[in-house]
Amino acid sequence: MWESWASNMVVKVKWFYHPEETKLGKRQSDGKNALYQSCHEDENDVQTISHKCQVVGREHYEQLTRGRRCQDRQDLYYLAGTYDPTTGRLVTAD
């Protein structure tokens, strides 16, 4: 995060994709809170960020969601794999 020449706060972000946002679409193996990381990066104004979330490995996600407290968390996702938006190539984490 840094301040631009125009005195705006800017952040560099790496994009994650929901399965339904990929060219292949959602697959049967994709769970409710699956995300695919990509090499797609952008510089955005800090004000465009709506909220933060936590992305963890699948095993850690399953451990966290076993507890009743974490079952309904809207900000918890697991890393299902990687996605290249330019080629449409999708590689699962397993």
Query: Where are the domains positioned within the chain?
Result: 2-22+31-92
Query: How far is residue 71's CA from residue 74's CA, in Å, rounded to a whole number?
Result: 9
Residue 21, SS3 per DSSP: helix
pLDDT value for 71: 59
Reported as a single tens digit per residue, the pLDDT across 47-94 is 888 888 999 999 999 888 887 666 567 799 999 999 999 999 999 987
Q: When comparing pLDDT for 28 and 34, which is higher?
A: 34
Q: When comparing pLDDT for 4 and 46, which is higher?
A: 46
Q: Is 2-22+31-92 assigned to CATH 2.30.30.490?
A: yes
pLDDT value for 31: 87
